[in-house]
Amino acid sequence: MEDLFSLGIIWLAVFAAHWAAGKTQLTPVLWFLAMGCILVNLGVLPEDPGVFIRDLAEIGIIVIMFALGFEENSSAFIRSIRRSWGIALFGAIAPFTVAYATVMYFWGDANAALLCALAMTATAVSLTMVSLRSEGLHKTDAATGIMTSAVLDDIASLALVAILVPMATGDASFSISAMLLIGGKAVAFFVLITVMAVWLFPMQGTIFARIPGLSGFNLSRLITMQNGEHATLTVLLIALWVALLGHEFGFHPAVGAYMAGLILKEEYFLLASHKGNAEKTVHEQTRNIIDSVAFSWIGPVFFIVLGTHLVLDMDILMSVIDETLILFTGLFVGQILSAGLAARYTGGFDWYDSWLIGFGMLGRAELAFVVMDIAYVQHQVITEEMFYTLMATSFCLNVSVPLTIRWWKGRRSDAPAQTENATP
């Protein structure tokens, strides 16, 4: 019953956050994070949530990312990959360098500096995409550039985790084979996604249609079974299994869920026995249900729980305020400049989208907390002061995402109309 009580508190906080967002005209994500931080420090929510709450938060981010991919244009995503390599590369080098140099300057521990730098490298794309959606910017070229860059960053970060964590903790030395294994798994995952998108789901007219047992398979038939009554269940099953597949290949499940949404086409929702816009009705109904789950009642649980990671110990926080301010300022400036300039000069984005991409790459969440857990809890490579510095910096960066995106949107009020669905 304790977890159910926590869920009741969380849903009250979600309701309050939506109300506050409407009153202040700020994105709900900012209020979700604030509510989690306030409630855990008041002792209303536990510092260590129960298994049920943790799993529900995990489901929340999976559904959120699936919903975002479901709304995305897959062709635009694929086109954006070749524009985003520079954003991913330079947008990762800058924060890694800033974090490493800051930790070395204050504490002089090379192993701790490696792990702190790694924790501050990967972008929290889920936070950014939800913030962009709340501002009506989630279908723009900038949003697609952020997502593709973040996916590339995830691949690189996972490789670095496999290489640097064993080195920093003293468990192993550098291994070329480990690096190649990570790269091979990443390639294999995206090959499987491509096979599903291009051959398996459409089925008709492909070589898979000739395989016994698969000749009658058709995703559209499953989605529109019994006039589409089970369409939501079907697409959520696909999202979950592709998320689990991504996890098996070393990615966060949210990345797999996003890819699942990306490869589901509107044509799969066509009702064969109806004419006109019947397929749009099924597609829109399914999307409305998914959006409600993702952005109204389950998805926000993830952000509330994320906010509970910052438990305030004022004595320690005051002792590392200088380190936190310097690290936050360096990461804030370095991330925006590196990603923004890379978007402009390697990706060919206009200046508006380039700076929006820079702001969108500020967030730190899933991988950052995984690395901090390994470094602080499991192996004690970083000290308590370092841990609080990273936690406070991550919180400030996460709060900066919705604030900067909203501020920058106001710099050009017609931004969605001018950037949406533009052709690179």
pLDDT at position 205 is: 53
pLDDT at position 312 is: 81
Is the pLDDT reported for residue 275 higher than 50?
no
For 16-34, what is each residue's pLDDT tens digit?
A: 999 998 887 666 877 888 8
C-alpha 30/C-alpha 397 separation (Å) is 11
- Structure tokens of 233? 């269940």
C-alpha 336/C-alpha 166 separation (Å) is 30
C-alpha 277/C-alpha 323 separation (Å) is 58
C-alpha 211/C-alpha 415 separation (Å) is 48
Q: Residues 34, 307: contact at Cβ < 8 Å?
A: yes
pLDDT at position 419 is: 42
Mean pLDDT computed over 367-383 = 77
Is the pLDDT reported for residue 278 higher than 60?
no
CATH of domain 51-419: 1.20.1530.20
Helix (H, G, I), strand (E, B) or coil at 310: coil
In which residue are the tokens 């989630």 written? 138
Domain ranges of the chain: 51-419
For 268, residues 6+ apart whose C-beta sits below 8 A from its C-beta are: 201, 219, 220, 223
In which residue are the tokens 């192996």 written? 379
Average pLDDT along the chain: 82
Which of residues 106 and 399 earns the better pLDDT score?
Answer: 106
For 158, residues 6+ apart whose C-beta sits below 8 A from its C-beta are: 182, 186, 250, 251, 367
C-alpha 343/C-alpha 421 separation (Å) is 17
Query: What is the pTM (predicted TM-score) of this model?
Result: 0.71
What is the 3 state secondary structure string of 214-260?
CCCCCHHHHHCHHHHCCHHHHHHHHHHHHHHHHHHCCCCHHHHHHHH
- Structure tokens of 165? 């964590």
pLDDT at position 423 is: 34
Q: End-to-end alpha-carbon separation of the chain, Å? A: 53
Mean pLDDT computed over 220-237 = 84
Which of residues 142 and 377 earns the better pLDDT score?
Answer: 142
pLDDT at position 342 is: 94
Of 179, 123, 188, the closest CA to residue 149 belongs to 123
For 45, residues 6+ apart whose C-beta sits below 8 A from its C-beta are: 6, 9, 10, 36, 39, 304, 308
C-alpha 19/C-alpha 28 separation (Å) is 9
Of 84, 162, 174, the closest CA to residue 123 belongs to 84
pLDDT at position 418 is: 42
Which of residues 126 and 330 earns the better pLDDT score?
Answer: 330
Q: Which of 36-45, 82-91, 155-164, 233-242 has the lowest mean pLDDT?
A: 155-164
